[in-house]
Amino acid sequence: MDPIIRVPEGLEGVVVADTGISEIDGANGRLSYRGVPIEDIAGRFQRWEDLMPWLVYGEAFTIQVPPPRVTFALDGQPMVRLIHCVLGAHDLWPFEDRETEAAWLSAIPSSLVGQRTGAHASAAQAYLTGLRQGRQPSPVEEQTLNTYWIIAAEHGLNASTYAVRVAASTGTSLPLALAAGLATLAGPLHGGAPEGVLTLLQEASGVENLDRWLTEKVQRGERLMGFGHRVYRTLDPRAAALRAMFRQLADESDAVRHAVAVEEAAVRVLARTKPHRPLATNVEFYAAAVLRGLAIPAPWCPATFALARLAGYTAHYYEQRAHGRLIRPLAVYRRQ
């Protein structure tokens, strides 16, 4: 019998797969999709649904978002409804071709909010229109959500992506594997990350001296959510890619202008109070500020993030099916 190899709790630092989908270089603050830097990705693709087939299949083709197959009312827990929305296609899978499958994926945002799409509407436009009960977003708002979804589409073997690969290794269907990833993302330590930033921004509303207020929080040992990252030791490259659209949105949103002021003050305070620890703005800060600026209700923020990640999940599903074995680690019994 092979000797048992112990690994760190949470598999931290353990390589469990080879991938050609994305590469994360935390030390140097770099992220690439299929070898292309995220900064270039954000400029190359204008819509999330245009990125998706390239990221998933390595092929670029245009998708016209079809009408939703199943729609849901806006009441109820959004992540649970998103899981049901995905599971609704289990009996339809496998689809007849990649174009049909990509079209189904692109229709999930509009299905979730019960919004029928126009002839040339993007998934982002349909999603925001449905959330606002018929009020269409401005071009800047639409492009901001598209940029957010593009830079959030894939990020290596995070917990939910690994859950998708575990499910895929059993040979289950794509919709069931996506549901496994979404259920994992629903946990507050994963998909709930922007909530801490939203709380910080809400608490900062009406504060006259942000520098003093933030300094007092740091001195009390409180963490400023949205700054620093478990992987990146420099500015999160996704944050850099999202910042440009974030600043454009400030022209239309008081909430975003407020978030800019909070960010600038926090960077100053952290540089002064923790000079030996790199705590740059991370993507969660910009994501939360963008979601707040787009007036997306707080309960819908995790689901909005999850929609972006469907592209990366699907890419990992097929990569695992093509090259991976059944994932079956060991556990060592410990007498209680």
pLDDT, tens digit, 9 for 90 and up, residues 133-162: 889 999 999 999 999 999 999 999 999 999
Q: Is residue 229 flagged as an active site residue?
A: yes
Q: What are 203's two structure tokens?
A: 């608490």
Confidence of residue 332 (pLDDT cuts 50, 70, 90): confident
What's residue 263's pLDDT?
92
Q: Please say if the pLDDT value at position 298 is more than 90.
A: no
Q: Tokens standing for 185?
A: 């993302």
12 catalytic per annotation: no
Residue 93 is assigned to a structural domain of this protein: yes
Are 169 and 26 found together in one domain?
Answer: yes
Q: Provide the CATH number for the domain around residue 270.
A: 1.10.230.10
Alpha helix stretches (DSSP H) within 60-97:
78-87
Give, as one character, the DSSP assignment of residue 88.
Answer: T
What are 36's strand-pairing partners?
33
Q: Which of 154, 284, 316, 319 is catalytic?
A: 284
Same domain, 63 and 158: yes
User: Does residue 8 belong to any structural domain of this protein?
Assistant: no
Q: Give the model's pLDDT for residue 2.
A: 64
Range in 130-139, 188-197, 288-297, 311-320 the model is least confident about: 188-197
* CA proximity to 215, closest of 151, 268, 137: 268
15 in a structural domain: no
Domain that holds residue 266: 194-293
- Segment 45-73 shows an average pLDDT of 84
What's the whole-number average pLDDT of the chain? 89
- Residue 198: per-residue pLDDT: 87
Task: Read off the pLDDT band of 19 (50, 70, 90).
Answer: very high
203 and 128 in one domain? no
Q: How many domains does the chain have?
A: 2
Give pLDDT, residue 70.
Answer: 55
Which CATH number goes with the domain that contains 35? 1.10.580.10
The answer on 305 and 212 residing in a single domain is no
Window from 81-95, 152-166, 283-297 with minimum mean pLDDT: 283-297
The average pLDDT across 3-28 equals: 86
Residue tagged active-site, from 49, 101, 142, 229: 229
Question: In the β-sheet with 22-25, what is the strand arrangement from edge to edge?
Answer: 22-25, 30-33, 36-37
pTM, two decimals, is 0.89
Check if the beta carbon of residue 4 is closer than 8 Å to that of residue 330: yes
Residue 71 has pLDDT above 90, yes or no: no
Integer Cα distance of 171 and 325 in angstroms: 10
For residue 141, being part of any structural domain is answered with yes
Shortest CA distance to 255 belongs to which of 141, 335, 149, 142?
141
Beta-carbon neighbour count of residue 276 at 10 Å?
A: 4
Q: Could you tell me where the beta strands, DSSP code E, fall in 195-255?
A: none
Same domain membership, residue 121 and residue 222: no
